[in-house]
Amino acid sequence: MAAQLVREWTSIQQFPCATQTKLLELVGKLKQENVNTLTILVMGKGGVGKSSTVNSIIGERVVAVSAFQSEGQRPVMVSRSRAGFTLNIIDTPGLIEGGYVNDQALQIIKRFLLNKTIDVLLYVDRLDAYRVDNLDRQVIKAITDSFGKGIWQRSLVVLTHAQLSPPDGLNYDDFFSRRSDALLKVIRMGARIKKSELKDFAIPVVLVENSGRCNTNDSAEKILPNGTSWIPSLVETITNVASNGSKSILVDKKLIDGPNPNERHKLLIPVILALQYLFVVKPIQRTIKADISREMKSLWELRDMGLSGNRF
Ligand code: GDP
Ligand code: MG
């Protein structure tokens, strides 16, 4: 792996004091649990606010944000350290192109992640979107096929544009719960999470408002419409997921080049074919050969063996 430039997380001082205190408290908690590095992977469709969320967490404009689709983007890892703790956040380009998952973009992301360990996945989408569709499901499926179903045990859903006024006079909390339910459902479908597995895949949903016009409280912290200071709350949920006991995802060569990690049983196919050959095909061939050699016996031979019906 190329040496990664780890800079001191000085931009943490850009946050209001209350936010800084909370963030350092969370970092301290992780260190107590012997977690000295946290690598967060940020994924989702284009234009949903992935890069803006990375900038919000770091407290500095570290990755480019664009209102328009920018092409040919590559993943970027931003690393910051503070008091012996290193935070890595990997921003990725959107996965959709022309209505489909762009396999090449996915391949580039996978190669970028080689030998890295993903501790937490932030699956980003907008709160102010009114439906989920097959495209969402395709993105979820692509992530699952690339890193294995287990990545969803290490994930949280981030909904940006949280400072919205719900349409049709809907109450904010109702709108939020309907939007999260719809997204969680599509994740369960795309990742093929069974009903019986639901308790192992309790995916938290967190609200984010990256806009510079986000409301603030008396301590100058950016807040959601319900008054919650969302940066500490997002980081707290990230730390909870990081210490939920499930396994981080090591992206090794096997995961990148190997079969779809969800279909490992397909490795058994050659074994099954070999067994079929030995125990089904071979005996049939033997019977056929025996039949043929019997066919080829001349009539007199058969007569001598008493097998011919002919009377001479
Ligand atoms: P990405 O393609 O997923 O990385 O999305 P970007 O972070 O580049 O954001 C796309 C556009 O949405 C930019 O114009 C951002 O300023 C805007 N944006 C991102 N997050 C928010 C948010 O939470 N609220 C608002 N109002 N705009 C946002
Ligand atoms: Mg981006």
Atom number in ligand 1 closest to CA 94 = 2
The number of the ligand 1 atom at minimal distance from the alpha carbon of 70 is 2
Place of tokens 């570290």: 62
Which region among 61-75, 79-93, 148-162, 291-305 has the lowest average model confidence (pLDDT)? 291-305
Q: Please tell me whether residues 194 and 268 are part of one structural domain.
A: no
In this prediction, residue 189 has a pLDDT band, given cuts at 50, 70 and 90, of very high
- Distance in angstroms (rounded) separating the CA atoms of residues 89 and 76: 8
At 269 the pLDDT is 72
Task: Looking at the structure, tell me whether residues 281 and 201 fall in a common domain.
Answer: no
Domain-embedded: residue 311: no
The pTM assigned to this predicted structure is: 0.84
pLDDT per position as a tens digit, 23-53: 999 999 999 999 999 999 999 999 999 999 9
Closest CA to 121 of 85, 80, 157, 168: 157
Give the whole-angstrom CA distance, residue 176 versus residue 182: 10
Note whether 147 and 278 are same-domain residues: no
Claim to verify: residue 154 and residue 194 sit in the same structural domain:
yes
Instruction: Report which ligand 1 atom has the smallest distance to the Cα of 46.
Output: 2
Q: Is the CB of 119 under 6 A from ligand 1?
A: no
pLDDT digits (tens, 9 = 90+) for 118-154: 999 999 999 999 899 999 999 999 999 999 999 999 9
Q: Report how far ligand 2's centroid is from the alpha carbon of 96 (Å).
A: 12
Q: Which residues are annotated as a binding site?
A: 47-52, 66-71, 161, 209-210
- Please work out whether the CB of residue 209 comes within 6 Å of at least one atom of ligand 1: yes
Average pLDDT over all residues of the chain: 90
42 and 191 co-located in one domain: yes
- Residue whose CA is closest, atom 27 of ligand 1? 211
Same domain, 246 and 283: no
Predicted confidence (pLDDT) per residue in 203-225, tens digit: 999 999 999 999 999 999 999 99
What is the number of H-type helices and E-type strands within the chain? 10, 11
The secondary structure of 49-60 as a DSSP string is SHHHHHHHHHTS
- Higher pLDDT: 60 or 256? It is 60
Is the Cβ atom of 128 under 6 angstroms away from ligand 1? no
Say whether both 253 and 279 belong to one domain: no
Q: Is the pLDDT of residue 111 over 90?
A: yes
pLDDT exceeds 60 at position 312: no
> Which helix H or strand E contains 82, and what residues bound it?
strand 76-82
* 141 and 197 assigned to the same domain: yes
Q: What are the binding residues for Mg(2+)?
A: 51, 69
Q: What percent of the chain has pLDDT over 70?
A: 89
Confidence band of 230 (pLDDT split at 50, 70, 90) = very high
Which ligand 1 atom sits nearest the alpha carbon of residue 160?
Answer: 23
Pocket lining: 211 vs ligand 1, CB cutoff 6 Å: yes
The reply to whether 254 and 267 lie within a common domain is no
Closest among 100, 90, 82, 96 to 28, alpha carbons compared: 82
pLDDT for the residue numbered 1: 46
Q: Which of 50, 54, 57, 65 to mutate to test ligand 1, by most ligand atoms within 8 A of the CB atom? A: 65
Residue 150 CB: number of other CB atoms within 10 A?
18
Q: Is residue 114's pLDDT more than 60?
A: yes
Residues 143 and 289 in one domain: no
Name the closest-CA residue to atom 14, ligand 1.
67
In the prediction, which pLDDT does 99 show? 87
- Asked if 131 and 44 sit in the same domain, the reply is yes
Which domain covers residue 84, as residue numbers? 7-258
Q: Which residue has the higher pLDDT, 270 or 20?
A: 20
Which atom of ligand 1 is least distant from the CA of 44? 3
Mean pLDDT of 169-177: 95
- Dist. CA 105–CA 74, nearest whole Å: 8
Task: Give the model's pLDDT for residue 108.
Answer: 93
Tell me: the pLDDT tens digits for 239-252?
999 999 999 999 99
Residue 289 dihedral angles phi and psi, to the nearest 5°: -60, -45
Structural domains of the chain, count: 2
- H helix runs in the chain, sequence order: 17-32, 50-58, 103-112, 134-147, 172-190, 230-242, 253-257, 269-276, 282-295, 299-305
Does residue 65 line the site of ligand 1, with CB under 6 A? yes
Closest protein CA for atom 24 of ligand 1: 161
- Whether 214 maps to a domain, the answer reads yes
